[in-house]
């Protein structure tokens, strides 16, 4: 009898350990299912962009490029808006989708500050993903100085000075004075 009771106790302990393992696995599966990424979110996440979100650039870019985790398709619903600090949209033309990304050409802007990018993109499975990020434009390169304008300015200054000297003092300069003929002695 004592031997049978010991076997029953050992079997009950083994059953409790197995039950605890099954419960832990079920809890972990529920947590991963509940808090893990959904299938639709996996490809709508922006992988990277040029210019990068929250980055600083020197001068406004000529275009914005967005890359995602799933292929995009050309669709009329693809839309990218780039707002300058004054609120003006500088996106030029339609957004071009292909491969895993979207590109949007921009008109020239000379405003410093935070630029906001809003996008709406259609993916291969028909799902539309959207998002917002910003980047900062810090400075603009100035055009190279035109030294010729200073050369012409200096030449014009010398020409004005020489004109003044000739008009004001022309009669007093011996080299420019008219030659007089000595009176004849006849």
Element (H, E) at 157: helix 147-169
The answer to whether residue 41 scores a pLDDT higher than 80 is no
CA distance 105 to 38: 32
Distant-in-sequence, close-in-space partners of 106: CB < 8 Å, separation ≥ 6 = 60, 61, 62, 63, 64, 82, 90, 91, 92
pLDDT in tens, 101-153: 999 999 988 899 999 999 999 999 888 999 999 999 987 666 666 777 777 77
Between CA 62 and CA 29 the distance in angstroms is 47
Banded model confidence at residue 32, pLDDT cuts 50, 70, 90: confident
Give the pLDDT score at 136.
94
Asked if 103 contacts 72 with a C-beta cutoff of 8 angstroms, the reply is: no
pLDDT the model gives residue 6: 61
Q: What is the pLDDT of residues 56-105, one digit of tens each?
A: 998 889 999 999 988 899 999 999 999 999 999 999 999 999 889 999 99
DSSP-derived 3-state class of residue 94 = coil
What pLDDT is stored for residue 148 in this prediction? 75
Is pLDDT above 80 for 54? yes
Q: What angle do CA 113, 119, 120 make, to 5 degrees?
A: 170
Cβ neighbours for 143, distance < 8 A, ≥ 6 positions apart: none
């Amino acid at each position: 009898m004592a031997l049978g009771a010991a076997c029953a106790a050992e079997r009950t302990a083994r059953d409790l350990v197995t039950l605890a393992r099954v419960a832990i696995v079920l809890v972990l599966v529920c947590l991963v299912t509940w808090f893990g990424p959904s299938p639709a979110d996996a490809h709508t996440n922006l992988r990277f962009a040029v210019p990068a979100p929250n980055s600083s650039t020197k001068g406004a870019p000529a275009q914005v490029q967005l890359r995602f985790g799933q292929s995009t398709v050309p669709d009329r619903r693809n839309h990218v808006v780039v707002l300058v600090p004054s609120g003006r949209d500088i996106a030029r033309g339609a957004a071009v989708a292909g491969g895993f990304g979207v590109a949007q050409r921009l008109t020239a802007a000379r405003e410093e500050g935070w630029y906001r990018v809003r996008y709406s993109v259609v993916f291969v499975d028909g799902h539309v993903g959207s998002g917002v990020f910003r980047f900062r434009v810090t400075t603009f390169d100035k055009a190279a100085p035109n030294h010729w304008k200073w050369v012409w300015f200096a030449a014009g200054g010398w020409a004005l000075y020489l004109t003044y000297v000739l008009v004001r003092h022309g009669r007093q300069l011996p080299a420019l004075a008219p030659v007089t003929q000595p009176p004849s002695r006849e």
